[in-house]
Chain A
Amino acid sequence: QVQLKQSGPGLVQPSQSLSITCTVSGFSLTSYGVHWVRQSPGKGLEWLGVIWSGGSTDYNAAFISRLSISKDNSKSQVFFKMNSLQANDTAIYYCAREDGYGNGAMDYWGQGTSVTVSS
């Protein structure tokens, strides 16, 4: 079955970077794109970026200067890195699979990585 499992730190120092790995199973990264979405405490969902099946990326313009998404197809892993974190980056970060129909939906989600930015 399709699964996305996330791993990453729960605590990040201000001005430091955040790295999260999303390991997928049940599908190939050469066939599906993977999005990253975050949810600040008590707030809604915010799209951060996507890596498409072919390896190209698109980012939310608000984060383009400090966000990087890459992947290793052979290991079924997607890598998320955000630089220069501040307190307002405290959030749950999710990876999610695009549904493959080209309509922008996300059909499977990881369990989320809760990240606190604090010294």
Chain B
Amino acid sequence: QIVLSQSPAILSASPGEKVTMTCRASSSVSYMHWYQQKPGSSPKPWIYATSNLASGVPARFSGSGSGTSYSLTISRVEAEDAATYYCQQWSSNPPKFTFGSGTKLEIK
């Protein structure tokens, strides 16, 4: 069973800063998905299969990684980016979908 560990748990940044959050898997995985969730709202797909931005996601976001280490980077943080970001992967045998514990991004 793969465990996803996200760091940091809380990330505080000023507008215009570059930030990176990390998702580490306990075993190698083929790709990682990322979701954004704001308080009171359902999660939204944000990055598919490691590096593909979901529709409507600003180009300041990017995703990368391989094996056991994946990251989400925001080149210049904006106030609207304040949210919790979750990574997610799945294993097919047996089918199991796993989420990380989330990184809460706060804007100063």
Using CB atoms and an 8 Å cutoff, list the residues of chain A in contact with chain B: 35, 37, 44-47, 50, 58, 60-61, 94, 96, 99, 101, 103-107, 109-112
- Among listed B20-28, B58-66, B71-79, B85-93, interface-contacting one: B85-93
| Chain A hits for B49, CB < 8 A | 101, 103, 105
Using CB atoms and an 8 Å cutoff, list the residues of chain B in contact with chain A: 31, 33, 35, 42-45, 48-49, 54, 86, 88-90, 94-102
Least distance between A64 CB and chain B CB atoms (Å): 10
> In the docked arrangement, what's the CA distance between A96 and B45, Å?
11
Residue in chain A with minimal CB distance to B48: A105
Assess whether A44 is in contact with B48, with CB atoms less than 8 Å apart. Answer: no
Residue in chain B with minimal CB distance to A60: B96
| Chain B hits for A46, CB < 8 A | 99
